[in-house]
Amino acid sequence: MANTITLKRRINSVRNTRQITKAMELVAASKMRRAQEHALRTRDFYTLAQQILTRLRQLTDVTKHPLYRQQNVKTRLHILITSDQGLAGAYDANLLKQFSQELQQDHKDGVTSQVISIGRKGSSFVSRLEGVELLAAYHHFAEQPTANDIRPILNTIVGLFITKKVDAVDVIYTDYKTSLSQIVTSQRLLPAAYQDVPIEPDLEQALFEPSPEAVLEAITLRLIEAQLNQAFSEAQASEHSMRMMAMKNATDNANDLIDDLTLAFNTARQAAITQELAEITAGAEAIQ
């Protein structure tokens, strides 16, 4: 009887866990749809921002512009975008693995590493590292950040770059492809237009008024802000997608475990009933 009682308690416990994981799956699915729509809406503007920066570099002499300055990298600043609460499968593990590889490369090249961490998981990891300076940590960052949310980070990285305290700024985030595919990406934010991107024919023929130099001065900071904003959007869509899949797998595993425990419970109960009948029959025969 004790065996059936134990099995029944385990079944109830797994059922309670299944209710929690199912609820978290539904919440993550709802958040994922909103984050996915937001990331897809802004992706075209992000792509255009990269193209405009590249095109302006082709049309003007950017060597004297402080945000385009390129030199030997002695200090690199990493913006690491992770989650706050976890429970998203391998989301944080993949990011921290890529981040560790970047740090190893910095150490190999003799580059000093500094970090701005977005998310509790990232700051917890960085705080345990030696030789890596954690400049700032942002927890519970907005899921769909506004310009006011991003501006403190943007002002920090731009100020450090202009004053030559850092020579390069990279953002490490998870790029959302589909609900089943997310890729950890390291992208260079500063210096601006670090890597050429393909330019649309219409943009190649576009005229910049009043002049390319004036446009360069006016919009470079905004275009960098757009790239940083897109990284946050892609990261949010990826996080909720991976959390939804992780909770779905947990729910499916709970269903399988409940089936196995129910089968074991029925087997144990049947064995107990059979034993009781045998004892009753043996007792009746002894009386006769």
170 near 76, Cβ under 8 Å?
Answer: yes
pLDDT at 62 over 90: no
Domain with residues 23-245, CATH architecture: 3-Layer(aba) Sandwich (3.40)
Q: What is the pLDDT of residue 204?
A: 78
The residue type found at 105 is: Q
CA-nearest of 237, 229, 232, 236 to 45 is 229
- Cα–Cα dist 36/251, whole Å: 23
Lowest mean pLDDT segment, chosen from 49-58, 118-127, 158-167, 273-282: 273-282
Q: What is the pLDDT of residue 41?
A: 86
226 near 160, Cβ under 8 Å?
Answer: no
pLDDT at 240 over 80: yes
**In the chain, pLDDT over 70 holds for what percent of residues?**
96
pTM of the model as a whole: 0.83
pLDDT at 1 over 50: no
Q: What is the pLDDT of residue 235?
A: 92
Instruction: For residue range 139-188, list pLDDT tens digits in order.
Output: 988 888 888 889 999 999 999 999 989 999 999 999 998 878 889 999 88
Q: What is the pLDDT of residue 284?
A: 67
| Extents of the domains making up the chain | 23-245
